Structure 1
Amino acid sequence: MYYFLQCLVLSTITTILLAFIVTVIICRYHFHTIRKQSIATLNKNSTKKDQNAATTNDKNSLIIAFYHPNCSMGGGGERVLWKAIYVLGDLYRAGMTNINVVVYTKDAPSKSYKDDLFQHVKSRFSITVPPSLPLSFVHLHDSVDTSETPKRQSMIAQSAETVKLAWKAMNKLTPHVYIDTTGCAFTFIVAKLLAGCTVAAYVHYPTISTDMLSMVFERRPSYNNDSKITASRITTCIKLIYYTIFAIAYGIVGSMSSLVMVNSTWTHGHIQFLWRLASNLCIVYPPCDTKSLEDLPLENRNDIILSIGQFRPEKDHALQLRSFALLLKKYPDDTKKTWNVKLALVGSCRGPDDEQRVEELRNLSASLDISDSVEFVLNRPYPELREYLGRASVGIHTMWNEHFGIGVVEMMAAGLITIAHNSGGPKADILAPFKGNMTGYLASTEEEYADAMYEALVESKRTGDDSNMKMRQLARESSSRFSDEVFVDSFKHAIVSSKILCR
């Protein structure tokens, strides 16, 4: 009987392995056929636009696809995407004329889609997409559920959705090189394992981290760790097991990448721990438009505390409102009567959930009795954001374990005294001492934020001390470490030295 069970288990495992291998082989052949069709289609389109394209875009064409379904949004991830495409434009102009660039998007197609999107990219990010670069879009709108979805989804559900979308994407167009710029590592199963693509990733934030595991273990409530779960040891234990299994799976799929670029020292540490078998792991700081902000005057600023960032739950705008309310309550004579301090929250909304979140923040400001001192500025073009950066005196950023913090860098480059959360990228990279001096403030609690805002905005005026002006100048100088030019050089070096573009 024991021998029979051994044989049964062995035969079952063998059957599963054989079925897996056969499935992979069939999928590889299937996607190889689609890749050949994709090359022919892109070459045909290129030839229509450029009669000389036929001499360079032949069977040896290299299709480079970016997985970024929300490519038309206005966040830091989209800035990385379009600057990366700009770098490929540089390589194209330098002689790598066999490349065709593709972006997978969930937007619906239209006759003016490409022109409208390029105009948006130029307006929002001041990035001009090279017109000579062969760039196409694969629209996945028919594969996206447009019905109202739950406000929260589990990591497994989210990952399953990305795998499903990647499968649809590969069936429409299969590239040679697949670059994920959204952090959806489980799409590598389709891209690498089934379609045989060379996979690269730009990781903004690990889907799961040891910090998240620690938060669950310590039963600390958060936007992604509900208080109902933290109240029970049993549910906490179940969630910890779930997180651990997911972390192992995340590490396995992430290790399929041939090039991993991360945006900060904090992200590098977590990805290095989780994606242990991944090749070519390097830090490529995201592109920040520091140059266009450096000409903003440092003097004659208004008494405005500025917040920049999408209205996502993890940005913790509520902490900004509570800290600001405490500032006004703790120092009423200076903040209201003498200086008339204001808080401006500038950011974009990705959809109905974010819009609802803004409404909740408005209600919170009303309950804190600070509505007259708070301004919400939503979905405005870059020139208007730049205007706020030129008028404000202090910048505030409250996300715990922010992976990097492009908004923090922009505020520093614009000459604001910046207060960021004492964790993640702002702590490890951005607001780290520069030339032995402080470049801003780090805080964690409402009290720490309130005191830092007071010191940055009011105290120097009371004492006549010029230390704040020196901090503005030093912060602006240090922000050049994260400029567009540094990103272009670093990204180009990473993809060239890794040889992922070589066939």
Structure 2
Amino acid sequence: MVVVAFVHPDLGIGGAERLVVDAALALRRKGHRVHLFTAHHDPTHCFPETTDGQLEVTCVENWLPRSTCDRLMALWAYLRMVYVALYLVVTSGLAFDVVFVDQVSACIPILRLRRQAKVLFYCHFPDQLLTQRRTLLKRLYRYFLDTLEECTTGQADCVLVNSHFTASVYRDTFASIGAAPSVLYPSLDFDKFDKYSSLSLPDVGLDINSNCMFLSLNRFERKKNLNLALESFSLLVNRVGEQLAATLHLMLAGGYDQHLQENVEHYTELVNSAKSLGIVDKVTFLKSPEDRVKVALLRAAKCLLYTPDKEHFGIVPVEAMYMSTPVIAVNSGGPRETVVSGETGILTHQTQEAFADAMETFVMGTSDRAAMGTAAHHRVVNNFSFVKFSEHLNYIVQGLMDERKQK
């Protein structure tokens, strides 16, 4: 048995959090002891496995701020993770063998104070590429953080990334780090989807009078480009004629945290955009749907609209394909590794015209939803199973233990 500590900044609801929870569950089912340490954990806004007793979670602190007047968010994230690492090393009393760190590498030097422990860093995407630097002050501020990120990432015993796309970005960004990262694709625990697979929309309290529903499922953040779904849908409605338009509906669902200013602001922006496009009566906005609701939506959708550009991996297209729902996605980033265009969905340009064209093929029957859905389901089962993910991660952890024994 290996004792694995997980260090994560905020155990909320998102792709990074889903991967961390899945990684912890995978290692636990392999007989290892796992314990999650985090700087923030809201029991009302998290994955159920972190509150129902399946996973041990310690929330180290909630008193350090997330920002200073909506600025310096990265700096505070670094400080919060350093604080969590200090707690783990100095105070927790946990004799851990491996530490699984993700998102923020600044805490790795602290964790290496436990010389016998191995540090595994999961790089969802280089943090320095997730922000803009419009002013000299911001460039100076980010220079310090960027240098720290590269230096501390290189101190990990093993670095994993979520896709070959991210691996290529990692190599270009961290030129001083000689070792290439390994790819560990996120996965799905099929049982979590299968137990809700018989639910329809009325079963979960959704009364949508449409036989052609398009679904967008993403956090309410500007970088997810959700306006593309609204604009494409509006173009489609105006294009197909009144009779067909009457059958169309767009569901815009996703993670929403009322404590995050961007979530609150962008949600309002999207509602106003739907109004200005004249489609508000054909659009439903749904905040943070439960798992059973999400599964019912994925089953009922004509196809999934996945709008982010250069997404690092993108777990939602995999979820949709497992539920036999084709995907329309931007032809960049992670979806190029998960979606087979023309077989399990359509990869296209990031324009409303291109998305509307792809959507129209499903409305008119040019794209065979059933055949694509079947192919999509088989692709996920064969390539992104939780079993395969668990075996790969366990192999990596055991390899780190073998390295320790050899020293």
TM bucket, shorter chain: 0.7 to 0.9
Contact 1:260-1:278 at 8 Å conserved across structures: no
Distance 1:128 1:346, change over 3 A: farther
Find out whether 1:345 has 2:252 as its counterpart: yes
Distance 1:68 1:155, change over 3 A: closer
In structure 2, distance between residues paired with 1:245 and 1:119: 34
One-letter amino acid of the structure 2 residue matched with residue 400 of structure 1:
D
Contact 2:252-2:286 at 8 Å conserved across structures: yes
Aligned to 1:52: none
Aligned to 1:256: 155
Residue number among 119, 123, 129 corresponding to 2:54 in the alignment:
129
How big is the shift at 1:138?
4.7
Aligned to 2:398: 496
Find out whether 1:381 has 2:281 as its counterpart: no
Aligned to 1:468: 369
How big is the shift at 1:343?
0.6
In structure 2, distance between residues paired with 1:405 and 1:320: 16
Contact 1:308-1:407 at 8 Å conserved across structures: yes
Instruction: Please identify the structure whose Cα radius of gyration is greater.
Output: 1
Aligned to 2:351: 445
Structure with the higher helix share, 1 or 2: 1
Find out whether 1:271 has 2:170 as its counterpart: yes
Distance 1:257 1:401, change over 3 A: same
Distance 1:63 1:491, change over 3 A: closer
Contact 2:163-2:312 at 8 Å conserved across structures: yes
Distance 1:149 1:441, change over 3 A: farther
How big is the shift at 1:168?
4.8
How big is the shift at 1:65?
1.6
Aligned to 2:108: 188
Contact 1:68-1:105 at 8 Å conserved across structures: yes
Alignment of 1:190-339 (within 5 A): 190-192=110-112, 194-196=113-115, 197-209=117-129, 224-225=131-132, 229=134, 247-275=146-174, 277=177, 281-290=181-190, 293=193, 302-333=211-242, 335-337=244-246
Distance 1:154 1:352, change over 3 A: closer
Q: List gaps (5 residues or longer) in structure 2.
A: 199-209
Aligned to 2:389: 487
Give identity over the alignment, percent: 23
How big is the shift at 1:166?
3.5
In structure 2, distance between residues paired with 1:407 and 1:200: 25
In structure 1, distance between residues paired with 2:300 and 2:99: 42
Alignment of 1:63-212 (within 5 A): 63-71=3-11, 73-92=12-31, 99=33, 101-107=34-40, 120-121=48-49, 129=54, 135=56, 137-142=58-63, 144-145=64-65, 149-153=68-72, 155-156=74-75, 158-173=77-92, 175-181=96-102, 183-192=103-112, 194-196=113-115, 197-209=117-129
One-letter amino acid of the structure 1 residue matched with residue 343 of structure 2:
M
SS of residue matched to 1:377: strand
Aligned to 1:19: none
Contact 2:27-2:390 at 8 Å conserved across structures: no
In structure 2, distance between residues paired with 1:138 and 1:241: 32
TM-score normalised by L of structure 1: 0.67
Distance 1:138 1:160, change over 3 A: closer
Distance 1:419 1:257, change over 3 A: same
SS of residue matched to 1:163: helix
TM-score normalised by L of structure 2: 0.82
One-letter amino acid of the structure 2 residue matched with residue 453 of structure 1:
M
Per-residue displacement from partner, 1:200-255 (whole Å, max 9, x unpaired)? 1122222134xx7xxxxxxxxxxx448xx4xxxxx5x9877876775554322111
Contact 1:419-1:440 at 8 Å conserved across structures: yes
Q: How many residues were matched structurally? A: 387
Distance 1:91 1:486, change over 3 A: closer
How big is the shift at 1:102?
2.5
Q: CA RMSD in A?
A: 3.5
Per-residue displacement from partner, 1:120-155 (whole Å, max 9, x unpaired)? 2289xxx9837xxxx45252224x227x75445464
Aligned to 1:31: none
Distance 1:487 1:162, change over 3 A: same
One-letter amino acid of the structure 2 residue matched with residue 68 of structure 1:
H
Q: List gaps (5 residues or longer) in structure 1.
A: 1-60, 213-223, 230-234
